[in-house]
Amino acid sequence: MQNKIKEIIKTYDDFTDQLSDPEIISNPAIFREIAKQHHDLESVVLRGREYIKLIEQIEEYRSILDGDDPDLKAIVKEEFDDLISQQEQQENELKLLLLPKDQRDSKNTIIEIRAGTGGEEAALFSADLYRMYSHYAERKGWTTETLSSSPTGSGGLKEVIFAVKGDGAFGEMKFEGGVHRVQRVPETESSGRIHTSAATVAILPEAEEIDLEINPDDIRIDTFRASGAGGQHVNKTESAVRITHTSTGLVVSCQDEKSQHKNRVAAMKVLRSRLLAQEEEKQQSERAEVRKSMVSTGDRSAKIRTYNFPQGRVTDHRIELTLYKLDNIMNGDISELIEQLRIAEQMEQLKQAA
């Protein structure tokens, strides 16, 4: 551990020197990449320097304990056990910091919510999830942008696709991918029977042009008149855009904006992110030695969470965590869920690294 930390500190110091090199400063792309790597190492280096000092102190105390001065030995002995305890704690913290980082974690994210089984109640639940994530984004100081939506007459959403922009957005939201189930009495249910409905959530890292190059020959773009509730532009102009990626068969439609150009930009953003996620999933499945964590798999067919309204509870089935604060969670207070899922993923990674 000590040698590894020293190597990281040396690399960090080399990056620090490079960031003041005029040649690197004059090249924005290289400067940006070095600055990012420098920033990524900062937390490890700060903790690592404390750890190196601690190790040096322990070695100094050991030499005293091996010496011949009984008075000095007695003084050192009182502190030595505490230092050993600190060493173990700091090593555990460093192990977590040294776990492989998912380079996508710092990206913005695109979230797709689709109503599943349950008809109109499932569409209403999809709208609830959309509001929950929007409120959480507000709490984090992130911004959201709706890219596409299919509303129902009663305030539900058959589907909604939106972007969440903010540092670390994908790294936190990636735990939300999967099937979300709701158990409650629908407003339209006169007999008071509890219904079970579901919605599917997909979390994609937002792909930039530098992440994925799309061949223009693989793209077919169609325009059509927007349909559905809201907006004077609806059904009057061909502002809606449908993009088909002919190589994969992926189709993305956007009609929320009044401008055809804006809808095209939004559709390309979604298409690029879907293609990147598809490629990364393919690469992961090809790497037999890489095990997907059960926590952040993002498998759309996996039931990950149940929201039980009569009992006021939310249960995450991946980590068997139940919280009796459903109202707070539906209002965007999902930080405890995400934190517990992150810890579970880290514990799984530590087991795999052992």
Sequential DSSP letters for 286-307: H-TT-PPPSSS---TTSEEEEE
Q: Which range among 248-257, 271-280, 298-307 shows the weakest confidence by mean pLDDT?
A: 298-307
- Mean pLDDT, to the nearest integer, of 215-219? 82
- Strand duo 195-205 + 219-224: pairing: unpaired
Q: Say how many domains are in the chain.
A: 3
Scanning the structure block, which residue is given the tokens 């750890």? 51
Asked whether the predicted pLDDT for residue 14 surpasses 90, the reply is yes
- Write down which residue in 286, 306, 325 finishes a domain: 286
Residue 19 has pLDDT above 90, yes or no: yes
With bands split at pLDDT 50, 70 and 90, how would you rate the model's confidence at 26?
very high
> Which among 62, 97, 132 is the end of a domain?
97
* Residue 104 within any structural domain of the chain: no
Give the domain range for residue 161. 109-210+295-353
In contact, 170 and 292? CB cutoff 8 Å: no
Residue 293, pLDDT score: 46
State which amino acid sits at residue 213: E
196 and 302 in a single domain? The answer is yes
Contact indicator for 266, 258 with CB cutoff of 8 Å: no
Residue 237: give its domain's CATH number.
3.30.160.20
pLDDT average, residue stretch 29-56? 92
pLDDT at res. 129: 98
More confident residue, 191 or 105: 105
Of the residues 261, 286, 311, the one at which a domain ends: 286
Do 271 and 224 sit in the same domain of this protein? yes
pLDDT of 296 strictly over 80? no
Average pLDDT on 292-313 reads 72
The mean pLDDT value for 65-72 works out to 87
Q: 60 — phi, psi (to 5°)?
A: -65, -45
Residues 122 and 164 reside in one and the same domain: yes
Q: Provide mean pLDDT across the span 185-192.
A: 77
**Co-location of 115 and 199 in the same domain:** yes
Question: In the chain, pLDDT over 90 holds for what percent of residues?
Answer: 49
